[in-house]
Structure 1
Amino acid sequence: MNIFGFQISRRPTKQEAIDAFSSGGFAGTRLGSRSKPMLLSTVYRCVDLISDSVGVLPLVIYKLDKDGFKTEAKDHPLYWLLNLAPNEFMDRMTLNKILVISALNRGNGYAYIERDPQTNHPTQLLYFPPKTWRWAGFRTSPDSSTCDIASSASTH
């Protein structure tokens, strides 16, 4: 068929089938990695909303006074880390948000607890991506790609 000098013809279209057991491509090869679902705007927005909501929640440490009433323990060693600055790189909300994003995308969110050698009080909480370490005694691999951390030195 010829319209306005342009040749118009019908060509067969390429159709791509999605396996019924592949969850629309998430479990198959198309979106199989953990980071690719975050490329979908709906998944990204849901994870962003949940992590923002949890990130702004207050983390309050209480102590019981002699009468049995709860009062905020501002002198506790963890008060500064949980409410103001968990480490020198980020604020409280950022660390909480990263931990929740990691938990939603990978199943767990981990923070390494750095302690003062003299007092054993926590000095920093550092985010650790789940794939970069495993439970064991502290040692690094020869290529420094992973490091083993004792369970007492981390929280999740």
Structure 2
Amino acid sequence: MHKHDELLIALRKVIRAIDLHSKQLERTAGLTGPQLMIMRSISRFDGAMVRELADVNNLSPATVTSILDRLEIKGLISRERSSQDRRRVGVMLTEAGKALLAKAPQPLQEHFTRCFDELKDWEQSQLVSAMQRLADMMNAQDLDASPILDVQGLNPD
């Protein structure tokens, strides 16, 4: 087998692992990876504004707003205007949102991050460099991406 075939197989395995985890999350919790990440951020920063959630998750405010719209329809979050500044709208988990979050599986990137952090610094640098090179080889260097491991789109539906 050629080296490029071995690399393509490894890439396919990564894509498959992300896909399988996303489908399992959707089946067990009824959430996408980005929705789960936003809910976890809301639980840490109760009353956070859209801009803060976007910054913490490396997403655009428009993407976060779309995710929040879907979570609100499901009854998992609520939005409340500030009594001091009516322009500010904070986001909170509802009781249903807290209950769902408590039983939701761990996001794939949290497991990945924990394993990555256990590597030696030179191993981390080598992986980052190899993946950046790979992205360049696939003409993906200019694609917008966030650190959320999910094959489902982050685009508003």
TM-score band, normalised by shorter chain: under 0.3
TM-score by length of 2: 0.24
- Structure showing greater relative contact order (alpha-carbon pairs closer than 8 Å, 6 or more residues apart): 2
- Higher relative helix content: 2
| Higher Rg of the two aligned structures | 1
TM-score by length of 1: 0.25
- Higher relative strand content: 1
